Amino acid sequence: MTLSTSGETPAAPAAPRWSVAAHAGRWWSRLTTSWRRSLQFRAVAATVALSALALAGTGAFLSNQIAAGLFEERFRQMQGESVRGLNEVKSNFESAATTDRSSTVAFVNDTLKLVQGDGASVQRDFVLTPLPSSENIYVTNTASGGLTTGVIPAELAATVRDNPGVYWQSLEFPRDNADVPGLAFGTKVSLPPGREYALYLVYDLSSVQETLDFINRVMGIGGMLLLIVTGGIAWYTTRLVVRPVSHAALVSEKLADGELQERMEVRGEDEVARLGTSFNRMAASLQDQITQLATLSQMQQRFVSDVSHELRTPLTTVRMAAEVLHDARGDFDPVNRRSAELLYTQVERFQNLLNDLLEISRFDAGVAALDADTLDVVPIVRRVVDSAELHADHVGSPLRIHAPEGGCVAELDPRRIERVVRNLVMNAVEHGEGNPIDITVAGDDHAVAVTVRDHGIGMSPLDAARVFDRFWRADPARARTTGGSGLGLSIATEDTRLHGGWLQAWGEPGEGACFRLTLPRRLGDPLGASPLPLAPERRGAAAPTDAWALDGLAAAGHTAENEEAGGSAGHADPGGPGPRTTGGHDA
């Protein structure tokens, strides 16, 4: 049995709802952040929580056992005292020789004083009440210690009234403006003139409850101190393990940022020290390899740059001689005439390759810079189309421009953007198989885009994965009609990256391909979507050329997620490792 007291304490004034909610939200956010980011916090919190559960269970069990043992011991003492006292009073009442009211009342009071006072080290009082069936009684309701007959439980009163013997029941009764626990023992007695009464002995157990409360407080304080000690031990123990791991993570982040000289501090000879030593050896090995690779890369870039520069002078001389021979080829026999034409063509191609190599070397050296201005993209596209129209007419591919009347203005380097668009257009002419080529320009509040769509041989996903690689061709046996160097799309990718834009490709074998250039309106602004779709919009199961819905300006607002519907696409994003697509044109 658990002894307890009941009472009401005034409630503290409530804080404003918004203030409590705001503080709770901030604390909850801090706790969740610490739980996600700190291994030590999780370990300490889990240890303290589990320890608290164990202590709460143990404390509840001990409190229950102590309360039961304490009550059982006191109950046996009070039961023995009450049975003896009630039987003694009952015997005295039965042998009473009083004949009038006054003598009977005096006799009862003197007798009951014998059972009032301390019993079993607790306060004991009595309650005497006549049974309902008694009439012409001499003694009315009598009680000590400020008690009334109302404190006796109805169940106990009914049992005493209907049965002989001594009975008991737990109860609570008011004392000193508070309800205190107690025990009541009762039996039926007789008084002159032959009337029956119920006599109860009521024990006050508040002292026992105070003892139990004191034990519970001591156990609670001890449990809190033990939790604090446990949390401190867990914090110190986990800190010994987590701190080196945290330091290793910090050093790893610095190594990833290029600070290759960073190393872990190694102390002692335990497992953590061996981990730090191994980590430092790994970092030193990586630093050496990266340094060697960087040195080799610089040597290769310097070699390409030096060779390209050294070749310019003799190439200029050879080109002048080739031009002289080409101009005089009319006086040659057919074999020499053809040789002069081949020499002129290949020297021109060699000149273009040399220029592309010099441009690539500038990109690799990181010295390429933008000469940006706020310009309209549409005139740039028209200049490219005008210059490519002659070759397009030669292969039978008409060039069609779809552009808004108001233009598309952005911050860009016109020389580089014109080179990118020229590369895309000439690439489309090369692979368009004589079909029409559509060049679309559009813009929104954040970006401008140019798409070049052909309806030629298309690209397979396997070939398209390398479309922007240097010197790569989808079909090495395929003859070139424009004499490209194989570096065009690679240079276009680097030019796009300098602008912070995207260069993406889509294609399917036999259905043509689409290349899309997307640039931010203002340099440095991030790109979230392109104004033009990359993949064509299908309309039923039409033929490849007819299946592409050329919506032009109406396609503004297409996001990158929409592009996956018609095929995969790659892009050249600023700072990325390099472009990857799933198209398949020659680079």
CATH of the domain at 460: 3.30.565.10
pLDDT of residue 587 exceeding 60, the answer is no
Residues contacting 262, CB < 8 A, separation 6+ = 251, 254, 255, 283
Domain limit, last residue, from 262, 280, 298: 262
**Same structural domain for residues 146 and 121?**
yes
Structure token pair of residue 186? 């009762």
Please state, in angstroms and rounded to a whole number, the distance separating the CA atoms of residues 367 and 361.
9
Q: What is the pLDDT of residues 257-286, one digit of tens each?
A: 888 888 888 877 777 788 888 888 888 888
In a domain, 576, yes or no: no
Output the DSSP codes for 449-501: EEEEEE-SS---HHHHTTTTSTT--S-TTSPPSS---S-HHHHHHHHHHHTT-
In a domain, 419, yes or no: yes
The residue with tokens 């007695």 is 189
Please state, in angstroms and rounded to a whole number, the distance separating the CA atoms of residues 501 and 449.
10
Residues contacting 487, CB < 8 A, separation 6+ = 353, 356, 357, 359, 360, 470, 471, 587
In a domain, 168, yes or no: yes
What CATH code is carried by the domain that includes residue 76? 3.30.450.20
In a domain, 431, yes or no: yes
Structure token pair of residue 337? 């005439």
Domain that holds residue 420: 371-565
**Same structural domain for residues 194 and 294?**
no
**Is 9 or 412 the better-scoring residue by pLDDT?**
412
Q: Average per-residue pLDDT in the chain? A: 79
**Is 404 or 25 the better-scoring residue by pLDDT?**
404
Which of 353, 518, 515 has its CA nearest to residue 422?
515
**Same structural domain for residues 152 and 176?**
yes
∠102-108-114 over CA atoms, to 5°? 145
Q: What is the pLDDT of residues 422-456, one digit of tens each?
A: 989 998 998 888 899 999 999 999 999 999 999 98
**Same structural domain for residues 99 and 169?**
yes
The residue with tokens 């626990």 is 181
Please state, in angstroms and rounded to a whole number, the distance separating the CA atoms of residues 171 and 149.
13
**Same structural domain for residues 193 and 223?**
yes
Given this model, what pLDDT does residue 2 score? Answer: 32
**Same structural domain for residues 230 and 87?**
yes
Q: In the chain, how many domains are there?
A: 3
pLDDT of residue 550 exceeding 50, the answer is no
**Same structural domain for residues 311 and 177?**
no
The residue with tokens 């002292």 is 207
The residue with tokens 């033990």 is 226
**Same structural domain for residues 207 and 279?**
no
In a domain, 40, yes or no: yes
Mean pLDDT to the nearest integer, 127-153? 82
Q: Per the confidence metrics, is the pTM higher than 0.85?
A: no
Q: What is the pLDDT of residues 467-508, one digit of tens each?
A: 887 777 665 555 555 545 577 888 888 889 989 999 988 888
Domain limit, last residue, from 236, 262, 288: 262
Output the DSSP codes for 96-128: ----SHHHHHHHHHHHHTTT-EEETTEEEEEEE
Please state, in angstroms and rounded to a whole number, the distance separating the CA atoms of residues 514 and 504.
8
**Same structural domain for residues 209 and 177?**
yes
pLDDT of residue 400 exceeding 90, the answer is yes
Phi/psi class of residue 471: alpha, beta or left (left: φ > 0; alpha: ψ in -120 to 50)?
left
Residue 454 pairs in a beta bridge with 513
Domain limit, last residue, from 228, 262, 296: 262
Yes or no: say if 412 and 379 are a contact pair by the CB < 8 Å rule.
no
From 35-39, 340-344, 416-420, the region with the lowest mean pLDDT: 35-39
In a domain, 356, yes or no: no
**Helix 39-94 and helix 101-112, axial crossing angle in degrees, nearest 10:** 140
Please state, in angstroms and rounded to a whole number, the distance separating the CA atoms of residues 213 and 329.
119
**Same structural domain for residues 196 and 132?**
yes
**Same structural domain for residues 97 and 199?**
yes
Largest Cα–Cα separation, the chain: 171
In a domain, 253, yes or no: yes
Pair type for strands 447-454 and 502-508: unpaired
In a domain, 129, yes or no: yes
The residue with tokens 């198209």 is 583
Runs of H (alpha helix) within 166-205: none
**Same structural domain for residues 94 and 154?**
yes
Residue 116's pLDDT band (cuts 50, 70, 90): confident
